[in-house]
Amino acid sequence: MLKVPEMKPVQRIQANFLAKAERRALTWMCARLPAWVTPDVLTALGLFGAFIIFAGYVLSAVHPAWLWLVVAGFVVHWLGDSLDGSLARFRRIERPDFGYFIDHSTDGLANLLILAGLGFSPFVRLDIALFALAGYLLLSVHAFLAARVVGELRLSYLNAGPTELRLALIAITLAMFTFGALPVLHGLTAFDLIVGSVGLVLVALFVIQTLVTARDLTLK
């Protein structure tokens, strides 16, 4: 029978550009949230924000003005997704196993909604958007495996984390509203090339990090 390795204490590694400023902002908000706002409420809020993003991208096929709904959705998603764990730690009401499971499960669904919505918009092809999603999920798989075998949960790569990715997607969304689809090559838009390039970077990071971790494990 395959032996499952014993779970190591997990160290969160977060070295993105905005980590310190974001942490200060989240702590400030946690101290001022009313008692009825719980981590579970915030997790649901973050997922609701992803549904807003999905709806905004899909409706942008009707009129580009719906892209402003996408921007609002990203703000809602950031608030819920970033504050739920922060609030639990601030109030010392962590539920490590439940929180880890629910947080990453809802993250997976939220990422599907965001990238699928982008693919259903008139600005990015669905196959390219889903390729970027596959790259993101591969990197997530690596992070979860590394948390299991080496006790490190890496939340950022190349000094960028979820917050920087949201800001990049907001910038891309505003460019969509300003410039339109911008066809550039054989039916591909500029946004197809941008999103596809991000997908390639994510897949490359997965391969590199997998090889690095495998090498480190062989040296133990």
Structural domains of the chain ordered from first start: 11-218 (1.20.120.1760)
Task: Give the Cα separation of 167 and 187 in Å (integer).
Answer: 27
Contacts of 108 (CB under 8 A, 6+ apart): 137, 140
Task: Judge contact between 54 and 117, C-beta under 8 A.
Answer: yes
Q: What is the CA radius of gyration of the chain?
A: 18
Task: Give the Cα separation of 95 and 79 in Å (integer).
Answer: 20
- Judged on CB neighbours under 10 Å (0-12, 13-18, 19+), 63 is exposed
pLDDT for the residue numbered 8:
54
Give how far Cα 16 sits from Cα of 144, 158, 172, 174, 200, Å.
18, 8, 20, 23, 20
pLDDT for the residue numbered 191:
96
The one-digit pLDDT tens for each residue of the chain (220 residues) are 444 445 556 677 767 778 888 899 999 999 999 999 999 999 999 999 999 999 999 999 999 999 999 999 999 999 999 999 999 999 999 998 898 899 989 999 999 999 999 999 999 999 999 999 999 999 999 888 888 888 777 777 767 788 889 999 999 999 999 999 989 888 899 999 999 999 999 999 999 999 998 998 888 7
pLDDT for the residue numbered 9:
60
- Judged on CB neighbours under 10 Å (0-12, 13-18, 19+), 92 is exposed
Q: Pairing mode, if any, of strands 188-189 and 183-185?
A: antiparallel
pLDDT for the residue numbered 187:
85
pLDDT for the residue numbered 2:
42
**In angstroms, how far is CA 215 from the centroid of its own chain?**
27
Task: Judge contact between 121 and 60, C-beta under 8 A.
Answer: yes
| Number of Cβ within a 10 Å radius of residue 132 | 25
